[in-house]
Amino acid sequence: MLDLTTQIGTLTLKNPIMPASGTFSEDLAQVFDLDILGAHVTKTITREKRSGNPTPRVCEVRGSMLNSIGIPSKGLDAFKTNVIPFYKNYDAPLIVSISAGSADEFASLCEDISVPGVAAIEVNISCPNIEEDGKAFAMRPSTTEAVMRKLRNATDLPLWAKLTPNTGETTEVAKAAEEAGADALVVSNTLLAMAIDINTKRPKLGNLMGGLSGPAFKPIALRMAYQCAKSVEIPVIGCGGISTIEDVIEYLIAGASAVQVGTATFINPPIMVKMVEGLESYLQSQGLHSVKQLIGSVVDQEASDGLVFMEAAP
Amino acid sequence: MSNIALDTKPDFELAKPIHEVECTIISNEPVNGEYRLLVLNAPSKILDCEPGQFFHLLCPVSDTLQPYLRRPMSIYGYYPDKGELHFLYKVTGEGTSAIATLKAGDNFNVLGPLGRGFDILPNWQNLLLVARGVGLATLAPLALEARRLNRKLTAICSARSDQFLLSLDYFRELGATVIPLTDEAGTSSVENMHSIIEGLIADEGIDAMYTCGSNRILKLLQTVGKEHNIPGQIALEQQMACGIGMCQCCVRAFNRNGAIVNERVCREGPVFDLQEAIGC
């Protein structure tokens, strides 16, 4: 009997495949049975209603895409009334992604969303499209630790910190989040990027810049997931450019305990179902009986011990 | 299961499933200087469509053309009896250029049917379609449905010149009164269109108006609709990523009860109330 379960802190997921925030909604229930997934992760909500960024909000680049959606949100009350009850129809745990403009607002939202039906809170401390002045908490260890401490004090639910690739201090930020009480790290959000139309000379996104996601981003996020898994004790959830079952397996081998699939669902909406099936086939073909045997099985030997992971000069 | 859960889930259970399927190309040929007709052999489960709905198309990738996201395209025709799905399109960018390379026998991955289609309410007997250029493609299934429901249909079709006027015979075969207007003949001005519509209202009356795309036509029909209290619907376009409501890419602004609201073209649309629509 194959064991696809994985452990994210106190939560046991029936398989390691879940959607990435912002690329999933109740609408996907029209495509497949959402209980096939290991967990459900909502689009980031804010306390207030927000309309999001100007259009165009998405553009494609070779083999990938940029987005500057900007976290449109119907607000906390609408979310509690309409969205949480919908997911009570499913066994898969509901992970609610939240964001706010300041650490105190973040903590107060975190407290107010800690309600029955919510299994864990993913704290989006890294959206490149929302924080004032374009700064995200997760770009520095100090701001990460400060906001995570407030969030930790605001809830007893598991806290997943979603990190950003827009930092030169990946492992320091990861350790700061762990130190401040995060139960897991989601690695990572999108990479700040840009595209310009050469005919009109206008940026292709209404917000000028936006986050790169899709296959082109995968090696970067995979590297970060590997670095984080090496530097912290809490589980790492890999996220970035996962489009095939081979990508899922690669992240698990790198040390991720689970993965989030995002942009690939836009191209191929039932892809996560195929990934769950593909994971079973892979384990069978390798003579493995459990996903846990795969997690962190990267053969890096001594190299990893002495490796300097692109640390900043003092 | 709680009562709250029961109250909220049926909304999605009643919604029809969305299918991702590989179809086979029957033909993909130019129909005039600008437009091509794509005919697919499609399974019946994706042919339970409504006029105005669309499919999200996975474009083929080659050495020179590498569209990444799917491309939304309104349905030109769906024929469950013969198992065919038709799209009428104009090559404008990388996605449609890639679709134009498809040959008979090729596989083609489509997702759908998607979105909310046009309504034809029981008391809407005299229907008016107004379209410019390829916009007519979106309204073609509506003409077929109007015929099935035995409604009287008038179609005002505008284009640059006669050669770009599309499928007028198709509309005539469906029993529609067709009024072609062209830039070349100098008949396609808003003023002329306005007086033609006023004539139709004075003559037999119009119960509902339908259009898509063009800002000029939208504004004209909004004016006429307000003046004569005639309801209408418009099919709108917007760039899309997911096509099923998840990503919030395709929002547009609408006037509703005195406020501006954002709605997803892929999910709340692509068909919207004529008076709520805002041109871009």
ipTM higher than the 0.90 cut: yes
Name the nearest CA neighbour of A144 among A110, A108, A169.
A169
Statement: residue B99 has pLDDT above 70: yes
Question: pLDDT tens for residues A237-265?
Answer: 999 999 999 999 999 999 999 999 999 99
**Mean pLDDT, range B162-169, rounded to an integer:** 72
The closest CB to that of B12, out of A22, A23, A30, belongs to: A30
Q: Which amino acid is located at B6 in the chain?
A: L
Tokens 């509506």 appear where? B142
Domains B19-114 and B117-234 share a fold: no
Name the nearest CA neighbour of B243 among B272, B268, B269, B266.
B266
Q: Which amino acid is located at B267 in the chain?
A: R
Statement: residue B100 has pLDDT above 80: yes
Residues of chain B contacting residue A65, judged by C-beta atoms under 8 Å apart: 68-69, 241
β strands within chain A, DSSP E: 6-8, 11-13, 17-19, 40-41, 58-61, 64-67, 94-98, 120-124, 159-162, 184-187, 191-194, 209-213, 236-239, 258-261
Total residue length of chain B: 280
CATH number of B19-114: 2.40.30.10
B16–chain A nearest CA distance, Å:
7
A56:B111 CB<8 A: no
Structural domain span for residue A53 = 6-299
Tokens 């709520």 appear where? B276
Contact (Cβ atoms closer than 8 angstroms) between residue A210 and residue A68 = yes
| Whether pTM exceeds 0.90 | yes
B241:A65 CB<8 A: yes
Residue B199 dihedral angles phi and psi, to the nearest 5°? -60, -45
CA dihedral A304, A6, A119, A153 (to 10 degrees): -30
Contact (Cβ atoms closer than 8 angstroms) between residue A224 and residue A273 = no
Does B62 contact A at CB distance below 8 Å? Answer: no
A266:B17 CB<8 A: no
The closest CB to that of B241, out of A58, A61, A86, belongs to: A58
Q: Which residue of A has its CA nearest to B11?
A: A86
Name the nearest CA neighbour of A86 among A29, A141, A38.
A29
**From the candidates A34, A42, A67, A89, which should be mutated to test the interface with B, based on the most B CB atoms within 10 A?**
A89
Statement: residue B7 has pLDDT above 50: no
**From the candidates A33, A45, A57, A263, which should be mutated to test the interface with B, based on the most B CB atoms within 10 A?**
A57
% of residues, chain A, pLDDT over 90: 90
Q: What is the pLDDT of residue A99?
A: 93
CATH number of B117-234: 3.40.50.80
Name the nearest CA neighbour of A193 among A164, A163, A172, A227.
A164
Contact (Cβ atoms closer than 8 angstroms) between residue B53 and residue B103 = no
Q: What is the pLDDT of residue B8?
A: 41
The answer to whether residue A206 is domain-embedded is yes
Residues of chain A contacting residue B65, judged by C-beta atoms under 8 Å apart: none
Residue A216 dihedral angles phi and psi, to the nearest 5°? -65, -25
Query: What band does A90 get if pLDDT is binned at 50, 70 and 90?
Result: very high
**From the candidates A267, A271, A272, A273, which should be mutated to test the interface with B, based on the most B CB atoms within 10 A?**
A267
**Mean pLDDT, range A115-136, rounded to an integer:** 79
Distance (Å) of CA B218 to CA A208, B212, B250, B264, B279: 30, 8, 19, 19, 7
The closest CB to that of A63, out of B15, B16, B66, belongs to: B66
The SS3 call for residue B141 is helix
**Mean pLDDT, range A89-105, rounded to an integer:** 95
Query: What band does A219 get if pLDDT is binned at 50, 70 and 90?
Result: very high
Query: What band does B136 get if pLDDT is binned at 50, 70 and 90?
Result: confident
Answer whether the bond into residue A99 is a cis peptide, omega within 30°.
Answer: no
Statement: residue B141 has pLDDT above 80: yes
Query: What band does A312 get if pLDDT is binned at 50, 70 and 90?
Result: low
Q: Would you give the DSSP letter of residue A300?
A: -
Domain containing A200 — which CATH number? 3.20.20.70
Mean pLDDT score of chain B = 91
**Mean pLDDT, range A106-111, rounded to an integer:** 96
- Is A306 labelled as part of a ligand binding site? no
Our count of domains for chain A comes to 1
- Is A69 labelled as part of a ligand binding site? yes
Name the nearest CA neighbour of A70 among A85, A82, A80, A55.
A55
Mean pLDDT score of chain A = 94
A266:B4 CB<8 A: no
Count contacts between A and B (CB, < 8 Å). 109
Is A127 marked active-site? yes
Q: Which residues pair with B30 in a beta bridge?
A: B36
Does B259 contact A at CB distance below 8 Å? Answer: no
Question: pLDDT tens for residues A172-181?
Answer: 999 999 999 9
The answer to whether residue A305 is domain-embedded is no
The answer to whether residue A306 is domain-embedded is no
> What are the residue boundaries of the structural domains of chain B, listed by start?
19-114, 117-234
Name the nearest CA neighbour of A219 among A211, A210, A227.
A227
